[in-house]
Amino acid sequence: MDDHDIDVSKKLDRFDETLTGISDPSLRAKLEKDMDDIVGEIYRENSYYYEKYYREGFKDGMQLMLECIGEPKTTFSF
């Protein structure tokens, strides 16, 4: 686990501790749902960008390999 993941985990743990101090169950449930939605959206966005940039890097690497072995320029699409 990298440092960023550890920091996020600590912040989520701190948020959970804060929630236990809220006595109104409906407010606590709403806050938990809102936080789950926010975290889910962040992970979805991160996954999208990781995949997008991984693909771009892969295409660049394939193009460089083809150029090194003297193959003509190719357009990769996937």
* Residue 73 domain-assigned (yes or no): no
Give me the number of domains the chain comprises.
1
Tell if the pTM clears 0.75, that is, is over it: no
- The residue whose two tokens read 């995949």 is 51
- What is the tens place of the pLDDT at every residue in 1-17? 555 566 777 877 888 78
- In the predicted model, what is the mean pLDDT of the chain? 77
Count of other CB atoms within 10 angstroms of residue 39: 13
Per-residue pLDDT of the chain (78 residues; tens, 9 = 90+): 555 566 777 877 888 788 888 888 898 888 888 888 888 888 888 787 778 778 788 777 777 777 777 776 666 555
- Domain of 19? 3-68
